[in-house]
Amino acid sequence: MRYITMALAKGRLAYKTLEILEQIGISCEEIKDKASRKLIFINEDLRLKFFLAKASDVPTYVEYGAADIGVVGKDTILEEGRKMYEVLDLGLGKCRMCVAGPPSAKELLNHGELIRVATKYPNIAKDYFYNKKHQTVEIIKLNGSIELAPIVGLAEVIVDIVETGSTLRENGLVVLEEICNLSARMVVNEVSMKMEHERITKIINDLKKVL
């Protein structure tokens, strides 16, 4: 029996995913050792391999088949736009992708003005403004602390993840428009889904029962 390989987006999501997998009898003790620098972990009995990767790389591993299965946020799936099947909503890490800014920026959105949009998610922002709102904007890619952009005058609005809303609140910003809901999803390589249909479907169905 060949190994089925699972790529998990490293961080809190990976550990929560492992807890859920344990509920369906899939465990990997070694991976839980946070001090370890090991990159790949094997459950010989189940013929499963696990690895932790940067979230934005998980769809790449899955599209190319280096991982048969991946667990990653919907934000990353939308941004990366890779070819693969999204098979399950794990309901973890629920949050929203929003357009946010100072309350005064609402007018700029309503009137379709040429504004600057700062974001870690240029593809999601482009799709939303160009294809859904038909508003021409300038997109400025940032890598973190996106909320700074409207405060220091880099952009009028941001496209970013809002979970509790406290980052926005503490910086005098508000949600101006909602783009979509987000949560962690299980994704599967298209060829693996055919070649290992039975084993992968069993994992999906077992997970559905405990979610």
Sign (positive or negative) of CA dihedral 188, 190, 196, 198:
positive
Nearer to ligand PRP, 49 or 185 (CB): 185
- Per 3-state DSSP, the chain is made up of helix, strand and coil in percentages (nearest 5) of 40, 30, 35
Locate 46 and state its tokens.
């189940």
Binding site for ligand PRP (CB under 6 A): 120, 144-147, 160-167
Q: Minimum distance between the CB of residue 26 and ligand PRP, rounded to whole angstroms?
A: 27
Torsions phi, psi for 2 (to 5 deg): -80, 160
Q: Minimum distance between the CB of residue 142 and ligand PRP, rounded to whole angstroms?
A: 9
The distance of Cα 193 from the centroid of its chain, to the nearest Å, equals 21
Locate 182 and state its tokens.
């987000």
Q: Minimum distance between the CB of residue 83 and ligand PRP, rounded to whole angstroms?
A: 26
Residues 6+ apart with CB under 8 A from 198: none
Q: Minimum distance between the CB of residue 96 and ligand PRP, rounded to whole angstroms?
A: 9
**Residue, CB closest to ligand PRP:** 144
Burial of 68 (0-12, 13-18, 19+ CB in 10 A): buried
- The answer to whether 27 touches 21, Cβ cutoff 8 Å, is yes
Q: Minimum distance between the CB of residue 102 and ligand PRP, rounded to whole angstroms?
A: 16
Alpha-carbon distance of 39 to 37, in angstroms, equals 6
Nearer to ligand PRP, 59 or 93 (CB): 93
Nearer to ligand PRP, 161 or 204 (CB): 161
Q: Minimum distance between the CB of residue 139 and ligand PRP, rounded to whole angstroms?
A: 16
Nearer to ligand PRP, 84 or 184 (CB): 184
Which of 10, 127, 24, 13 minimizes the C-alpha distance to 57?
Answer: 10
Nearer to ligand PRP, 144 or 153 (CB): 144
Nearer to ligand PRP, 147 or 156 (CB): 147
